[in-house]
């Protein structure tokens, strides 16, 4: 994977930001594939919904809040 594509992935850049990054390098931004957003597993959501005494949170692999 190219360095620019890795930067796009790590920084979670939008499509416009990705295009802006690739433009000065003279590269096509279309090659950098974006991953689908991570979603909380339905079973974890069920557990979270059943919590009534304490608040809870489900975090993704990049520590983003999924639920």
H helical segments located in 14-56? 15-22, 42-50
pLDDT at 34: 60
- pLDDT value, residue 28: 60
* pLDDT tens profile 8-24: 888 888 888 888 888 88
Residue 1: what pLDDT?
Answer: 45
Question: What six digits make up the tokens of 12?
Answer: 């979670």
Torsion over CA: 47, 53, 55, 59 (sign): negative
pLDDT given at position 43: 92
Q: What is the mean pLDDT of residues 48-67?
A: 85
């Amino acid at each position: 994977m190219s360095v620019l594509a890795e930067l796009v992935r790590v920084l979670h850049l939008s499509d416009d930001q990705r295009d802006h990054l690739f433009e000065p390098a003279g590269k096509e931004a279309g090659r950098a594939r974006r991953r689908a957003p991570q979603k909380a597993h339905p079973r974890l959501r069920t557990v979270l919904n059943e919590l009534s005494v304490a608040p809870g949170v489900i975090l993704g692999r990049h520590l983003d809040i999924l639920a």
